[in-house]
Structure 1
């Protein structure tokens, strides 16, 4: 008989992995009764919908004294923490950017309001691990992310401690897109290493002194921003990134794009601007120089965001958006023939559970099909309910990574 884990089973894991660091603004792990109440409330909220929308939000157990006043939206009358309140407030929050704050008031757990954290381009996603400045969120603040029905992620600040998914407790892990020794991380690291200077054709990392980690961070953040933007539109979609050209037999392009500027060029320009700002002196006599460096960062950031938005808007057309390794648009409204052999299965890389491919709809199966045919492609499927999967063939076997933005 299968055994399923519930919020109560998370307590032991939390105590084992919490280990709060020394911090001037302490938000220690609450007592077990309070902790269980928070986890169970979030769990039950995850199973509910509002106007057919899945509940997705982040709850933080933190007092207002630990946060900057400029980021707070405090309620005059704090609301009692219930699943219904979380379902009601979830649509007005932006996942990982706007958090719901709760704490004890008069011996009761209540929601005191909302608060934002992070800034500008660096807050796009959690992949790079640099989404939040320390002053925005206490390092030892308890946060619970409702990722989907029955799916919770518990974190200390921005660091994941434990996750509950498909009735299983999953130990903390590095994001699959940033695990350089794993299939997805290796794929994107190879693409970044292969980027060339537009003028000379030289490798960017060797010809221009760009920190590899910084370039990879911004490249991955651009992909995450594309997926997040598609998800926010709630119409679903799919994006396929292929390191090698796909023939028309494999990918029929309703609209073929030629001569489009690569998003990788915007990424490189943003890296240059950031390095220029880091190198700019901070003394009063160099104020003009630093102002120009800050303006360059704003301009490159805006250009990058425009490029990201341009790509994400194309997902509104039926079919996939097809990008090359430089994130150049090759086509949209792309259709991949579903030619999966009977009884083809796909492995959940996180849980190790194997599923028949025909359990999913046509959008998923078409991405499964192209990834099976092309080892040098990664597909992303964004469902209307907000879930995002990455798909790749690994040694001839299909794998998927669920909750890629969570």
Structure 2
């Protein structure tokens, strides 16, 4: 009697895990980078059915193994119900639409991957009756720092490695048969886990209670996200208050004038707030229409756009600084002081601990199995109790080293 073939176990249900984690994140309620709570009806959102998301993930998983002219190119898709999110100027996408929709198949994705420029642009995938089609290529541009959308992305990072995002932020990842647990969040609040971040915010935003709703972590993670996309790995070290006096930068590439990232964030906030107030005043409740903007309001809108684009350019520059061996050093007010700084020393590497889901220090983390960059980050966090070290390894893993409960902890982050 012939033997039955072994049952092939399909990967864990990534789509179910995605929806489960989304529900745990306050059911489609998010915060903007400026701290303003935004509900789903205020921004473009499309919640695909589990069937559609599963089909998209399956196809992308097989596409991650496909080659085109011998190359495997990272590629991503963005799922939408229609093309309207990409044609609305407010949400800042550049859309290149195909004359006719293309089939959403493995071979097609492999052929189109190089046209997307790695993950700089995404294939727009729409449901059409019982199937999915590729309608074009969309590129989010710099104003996305403030403009929100909750469209689901599915990205191929490496063969067999799939990342599923909501908007810009990763929700779940599939890695060759496994779904790593989601890391604990560095959510806004006054817990010990936020001691360093809250202190940075008070410094950057000058103790202004109205501005302290801004979560500076969003912008630091945007730098980390860009670091990861560059594929070099890197280290960003943020000093605590007064730490600059004890920080030697003689071997680093110091900047003639600091790159004032914190100041740029503050200016962006002010410009964006004025623009939002103008927009509110232009709206008529009686007619449900907007009056044309005045010259002054147009100038304010242009100023807000330029301030936001300046922050985007700084994020890109800071991330590119991290590709140079050594660390980028930032002051407590987020001024970039130097890059290529050597943080390692002859000091003994401290014990490092993982972080539990209730944001406490947990078990020992195996720092001895990691390289020089991780050791430097751990030593920095041990030396500067109010400092933060943000690290991206060459394999793309991102984490923060900081002190928590007087211990150095390794805090993985999803970007």
Q: Structures share a fold, TM > 0.5? A: yes
- Once residues 355 and 51 of structure 1 are traced to their aligned partners in structure 2, the CA distance between those partners, rounded to angstroms, is 41
Aligned to 1:127: none
Corresponding residue for residue 200 of structure 1:
none
* Match of residue 364 from structure 1: 374
Distance 1:286 1:401, change over 3 A: same
- 1:82 is aligned to 2:106: yes
Matched, 1:9 2:13: yes
| 2:59 counterpart residue number | 41
Aligned residues: 372
Whole-angstrom CA distance in 1 between matches of 2:134 and 2:269: 40
For 1:317-336, what aligned pairs fall within 5 Å after superposition? 317-336=324-343
CA distance in 1 between partners of 2:110 and 2:191 (Å)? 36
Pairing of 1:380-399 with structure 2 (within 5 A): 380-399=390-409
The answer to whether the Cα contact below 8 Å between 1:43 and 1:152 also exists between their aligned partners in 2 is: yes
Question: Could you tell me how far apart the structure 2 residues matched to 1:394 and 1:228 are?
Answer: 24
Task: Measure how far apart 1:288 and its partner are.
Answer: 1.7
Contact 1:321 1:329 in 2 (8 A): yes
Q: Structure 1 residues 193, 359: closer, same or farther in 2, change over 3 A?
A: same
Q: Among residues 191, 205, 208, which one is paired with 1:205 in the alignment?
A: 208
* Residue 195 (structure 1) shift: 3.6
Is 1:251–1:334's contact at 8 Å kept on the other side of the alignment? yes
2-side partners of 1:315 and 1:153: how far apart? 24
Q: Secondary structure at the match of 1:260?
A: strand
Distance 1:308 1:8, change over 3 A: closer
Is the Cα contact below 8 Å between 1:251 and 1:336 reproduced in 2?
no
In 2, Cα distance between equivalents of 1:31 and 1:144: 13
Residue 401 of structure 1: aligned partner: 411
Written as runs of structure 1 = structure 2, the 5 A alignment for 1:1-400 is 7-13=11-17, 29-30=48-49, 32=51, 35-45=53-63, 56-64=74-82, 67-69=85-87, 71-75=94-98, 76=100, 78-82=102-106, 85=109, 89=113, 92=116, 95=119, 98-103=121-126, 108-117=131-140, 120-121=142-143, 123-124=144-145, 131-133=147-149, 142-146=152-156, 152-154=162-164, 162-164=172-174, 167-168=178-179, 170=181, 175-176=185-186, 178-181=187-190, 185-195=194-204, 203-205=206-208, 210-213=210-213, 216-217=214-215, 219-244=216-241, 245=243, 253-257=251-255, 260=258, 262-280=260-278, 281-282=281-282, 287-339=294-346, 341=348, 344-347=351-354, 355-400=365-410
Whether the aligned pair in 2 keeps the contact of 1:322 and 1:329 (CA below 8 Å) is yes
Structure 1: gaps of 5 or more residues: 125-129, 134-138, 197-202
Query: Root-mean-square deviation (CA), in Å?
Result: 4.5
Give the Å deviation of 1:36: 3.6
Query: What displacement does 1:241 show?
Result: 0.3
Structure 2 counterpart of 1:199: none
Gaps of at least 5 residues in structure 2 are: 1-8, 29-39, 89-93, 283-289
TM-score, normalised with respect to structure 2: 0.69
